[in-house]
Amino acid sequence: MDIKVKGITEAIIRQGLEQALAARLAILDKMVAILPEARTEMSEFAPRIITIKINPEKIRDIIGKGGATIRKIQEDTSTEINVEDDGTVEIAAINADNSRAAIQMIEGLTREVEVGGLYLGRVTRIMGFGCFVEILPGKEGLVRIGELATPHQGHLLRPLRDALVEEMSACSKDESFPVKPQKIIWDLRTAMDMEDIVICDVGAHKMWMARMFRCEYPNTCIISNGFASMGIAVPGAVAAKLAYPDRKVVAVTADAGFLMNSQEIETAMRLGLALVVLIWNDNGYGLIKWKQLNQFGRPSNVDFTNPDFIKYAESFGAKGYRIERVADLLPTLEKALADNTVSIIDCPVDYGENLKLTAKLGEMVCPI
Ligand SMILES: Cc1ncc(C[n+]2csc(CCOP(=O)(O)OP(=O)(O)O)c2C)c(N)n1
Ligand SMILES: [Mg+2]
Looking at the fold, whether 322 and 203 belong to one and the same domain comes out as yes
323: in domain: yes
The rounded percent of the chain whose pLDDT value lies above 90 is 71
Higher pLDDT, 270 or 116: 270
Residue nearest to atom 3 of ligand 1 (CA): 230
Distance of alpha carbon 235 from its chain centroid, rounded? Answer: 36
Residue 20's pLDDT is: 96
pLDDT digits (tens, 9 = 90+) for 133-183: 998 877 888 988 887 777 777 788 888 888 888 888 989 999 999 999 999
Residue 1's pLDDT is: 61
User: Which of 244, 246, 316 minimizes the C-alpha distance to 277?
Assistant: 316
Residue nearest to atom 13 of ligand 1 (CA): 285
Residue nearest to atom 4 of ligand 1 (CA): 230
For residue 260, report the distance from its CA to the centre of ligand 1, in Å. 10
The DSSP bridge partners found for residue 336 are none
Higher pLDDT, 29 or 364: 29
Q: To the nearest whole number, what is the mean pLDDT of the chain?
A: 92
Q: Is 208 in the pocket of ligand 1 (CB under 6 A)?
A: no
Q: Is 205 in the pocket of ligand 1 (CB under 6 A)?
A: yes
Looking at the fold, whether 355 and 211 belong to one and the same domain comes out as yes
For residue 292, report the distance from its CA to the centre of ligand 2, in Å. 14
Looking at the fold, whether 90 and 188 belong to one and the same domain comes out as no
User: How many structural domains are present in the chain?
Assistant: 3
368: in domain: no
Looking at the fold, whether 277 and 339 belong to one and the same domain comes out as yes
Looking at the fold, whether 217 and 256 belong to one and the same domain comes out as yes
The DSSP bridge partners found for residue 198 are 221, 250
Looking at the fold, whether 13 and 63 belong to one and the same domain comes out as no
For residue 11, report the distance from its CA to the centre of ligand 1, in Å. 137
Residue 367 has pLDDT above 90, yes or no: no
Structural domain of 144: 48-109+127-148
Q: Is 251 in the pocket of ligand 1 (CB under 6 A)?
A: no
117: in domain: no
Looking at the fold, whether 162 and 88 belong to one and the same domain comes out as no
pLDDT digits (tens, 9 = 90+) for 29-60: 999 999 888 888 888 899 999 999 999 999 99
* Residue 212 burial by Cβ neighbours in a 10 Å radius (0-12, 13-18, 19+): buried
Looking at the fold, whether 198 and 69 belong to one and the same domain comes out as no
119: in domain: no
Looking at the fold, whether 270 and 295 belong to one and the same domain comes out as yes
* Mean pLDDT calculated for residue range 23-31: 95
Q: Is 203 in the pocket of ligand 1 (CB under 6 A)?
A: yes
pLDDT digits (tens, 9 = 90+) for 99-114: 999 999 998 888 888 8
Q: Tell which one of 202, 252, 350, 353 to mutate to probe ligand 1, the residue whose CB is within 8 A of the most ligand atoms.
A: 202
Atom in ligand 1 nearest the alpha carbon of residue 205? 21
Looking at the fold, whether 294 and 239 belong to one and the same domain comes out as yes
Residue 364 has pLDDT above 70, yes or no: no
CA distance 320 to 286: 22
Q: Is 194 in the pocket of ligand 1 (CB under 6 A)?
A: no
Looking at the fold, whether 60 and 164 belong to one and the same domain comes out as no
114: in domain: no
Looking at the fold, whether 98 and 179 belong to one and the same domain comes out as no
- The identity of residue 13, as a single letter, is I
Residue 366's pLDDT is: 64
- Taking CA 284 as the corner, what is the angle to CA 185 and CA 213, rounded to the nearest 5 degrees? 15
